[in-house]
Amino acid sequence: MRRSFRRAIKAAFSHRSAERSPSAGGNAGEFLGRVAARAGAGFRRAGVSGILGAGWRGTTARLGLPGVLGTVHLPRSDEKTLSRRGRFSRRNRGSPHVEFTLRVLFVPLAAAGHFYTMVPLAWAFRVAGHDVRVAAQPSVLGLVNSSGLTAVPVGEPTNVLSNIKGSVDALRSETGKSLADYGDLESMPDEVRERFKELRRETFVAMASEIADDLVGLARGWRPDLIVTDPVMFVGALLSEVTGAPLVRHLSGPLLPTFHRALGSGLPVDEWPASLLALFERFGAEPRPDPAMVNVDPTPPSLLTRPAANRVGFRYVPYNGATQMPGWLREPAGRPRVCVSWSMTNTVTSGEKEYPAAAIAKALAQRGTEVVVTVKATDRPHFGQVPDGVRIVEELPLQLVVPSCAAAVNHGGGGTSLTVVTSGTPQVMMPQDPAHVVNAERIATAGAGVAHRTRPIDIPAVVEAASEMVDEGRWRAAARAVEEENARQPSPAEAVRVLEQLVMARLR
């Protein structure tokens, strides 16, 4: 097994270029630096940190690469099992190179932003020749179809945002404050923070229970080799236990400080909600504190908080939906352009009713700036008559707009803020949720943006900050530094290669 694993790791990384600069990813860089230098691969970029697959039940192997110590726990499998499925063959019995097709099941949260973040990795698996399916609840079926991936309908129609709003409304009724009033988790009193975590947990546990029967039926019938899940889709851990397929957790931005003891990523089983324990018991599955083999994470290293264990880092590739590129975006902007993006979904989930985009856009236009506001069709009525100098576009993917902009204004959501900063554009963020606060503060710390957390939103201060970003080059220089750092990270295709080799290392 030691030789097999050594060959697998060498094969996984032997294609990397020695000319790429090292990542600032800390443990990731140290791990891969040792592997690459001692194995003679000659590359120096970071992709995997920590001890790969720690905590996964199955074959245990001591890393045999010189200078690398640690134990790797990998789920058991064998060549005969894969051969029976008709998806595995060796070109050369003496070669570690393998031709095989994996069945990869993606389990996203039924919310656009969460699914969009998964699309680049899903397509990287598909282009590598693997069979990819997305278990999609009705609310995201259309998004999956438009992405070109294969959707498998599961569960009944549900409104995730409405469910989350229920937990926010409950917190407000109990404390007299909205989630946005508290801001980050550290600012909450201990009892409020625990109550908030409990309410959010109940929301996602209820979702797991609603779709468990459909998902388990799908997984047992299709027999995936790998399950890639959103961190809050607790049903992913259940599927992994039921099928024996390794679980990969797909992250989507800087981690909350509570992540390492959150449900499904470290919380002891004896602290799990009784309803989730009952769900595992119903299917004869054993719950474990952290069932994930690895965490795949497209967050640029300089934006990381505390990196997740067993992290496979890769480049953030913006995907915000499919559409046609309008003609005006193919022409140079006549004056500095600022993108303002805001949706009522940002405020619905925080319990607020503000819609600041209209006032911000009007004030920026009065300063001589060209303003592009991206909205959902349901938000268009908030604007009334459109001021001169303001262009409102509906359902236009953000990744098409921000590269042409001198600055951006948004709520600091994971997909939004990463799309902006990895396009080399500085941004002003008005976070409405504890996760948004973490995103905004990490980007601000990198010098690529400003986090405005005043309640209510201080519109003149936001407009002033955006105008400063238009006028002062230091902001764009800092954003471009993060963009360049992101570009140096392994591609999604390289992340797939790492995951392929981890699956291969399961062979006895």
Q: What is the pLDDT of residue 333?
A: 85
Q: Look up tokens 């194995």; give the residue.
A: 39
**Torsion (CA) 147, 153, 159, 164 in degrees, nearest 10:** -90
Write out the residue range of the structural domain in which residue 300 sits. 101-313
pLDDT at 156: 84
- Residue 76 located in a structural domain: yes
- Look at the chain and report how many structural domains it folds into: 3
Identify the sign of the CA torsion 229, 232, 236, 241.
positive
CA-to-CA separations, 447 to 302, 425, 450, 470, in angstroms, rounded: 11, 11, 8, 14
Same-domain check for residues 206 and 225: yes
Do 302 and 162 sit in the same domain of this protein?
A: yes
266 and 180 in one domain? Answer: yes
Q: How many CB atoms lie within 10 A of CB 209?
A: 16
- Among candidate residues 265, 291, 313, the one where a domain is terminated: 313
Q: d(Cα 369, Cα 172) in Å, to the nearest integer?
A: 38
The pLDDT value recorded for residue 174 is 82
Contact 75, 58 (CB under 8 A): yes
Same domain flag for 298 and 331: no
* Sites in the chain below the pLDDT cut of 70: 1-99, 183, 344-353, 506-508
Q: Are residues 86 and 198 in the same domain?
A: no
> Per the domain annotation, does 346 fall within a domain?
yes
Q: What pLDDT does 73 receive?
A: 40
Preceding peptide of 224 cis, ω within 30°: no
Distance of CA 276 to the CA centre of its chain: 24
Looking up tokens 């992405």 gives 147
Does the residue 493 lie in any domain? no
| 408 strand-pairing partners | 339, 427
> Of 272, 290, 313, at which residue does a domain stop?
313
Strand partners, 450: 428
User: Does residue 133 sit in the same domain as residue 33?
Assistant: no
Rounded Cα distance between 416 and 70, Å, is 37
**Cα–Cα distance measured from residue 154 to residue 132, given in angstroms and rounded to the nearest whole number:** 16
Query: How much is the pLDDT for 194?
Result: 81
The partner residues of 229 in beta bridges, in order of sequence, read 107, 249
pLDDT of residue 348: 65
- Whether residue 61 is found in the same domain as residue 203: no
Count the neighbouring beta carbons within 10 Å of the beta carbon of residue 392.
Answer: 18
Same structural domain for residues 336 and 423?
A: yes
H/E element holding 4? helix 2-13
This prediction has a pTM of: 0.81
CA–CA distance from 499 to each of 63, 204, 407 (Å)? 17, 27, 36
Q: β-strands 247-250, 226-229: how paired?
A: parallel
Report the run of H or E that residue 497 belongs to, with start and end: helix 492-504
Q: Are residues 298 and 438 in the same domain?
A: no
CA-based nearest residue to 420, from 396, 443, 454, 447: 443
CATH for 157: 3.40.50.2000
Residue finishing a domain among 280, 313, 346: 313
CB distance 141 to 153 below 8 Å: yes
Q: Is 492 among the domain residues?
A: no
Q: Could you tell me if residue 318 is inside a domain? A: no
HEC assignment per residue over 62-97: ECCCCCCCCEEEECCECHHHHHHCCCEEECCCCCCC
Q: Are residues 144 and 93 in the same domain?
A: no
Both 55 and 111 in one domain: the answer is no
- Specify if 320 maps to a domain: no
Length of the chain: 508
| Within-domain flag for 494 | no
Q: Is 480 helix (H, G, I), strand (E, B) or coil?
A: helix
Which residues are registered as beta bridge partners of 248?
228, 294
Query: Do 117 and 261 belong to one domain?
Result: yes
455 within some domain: yes
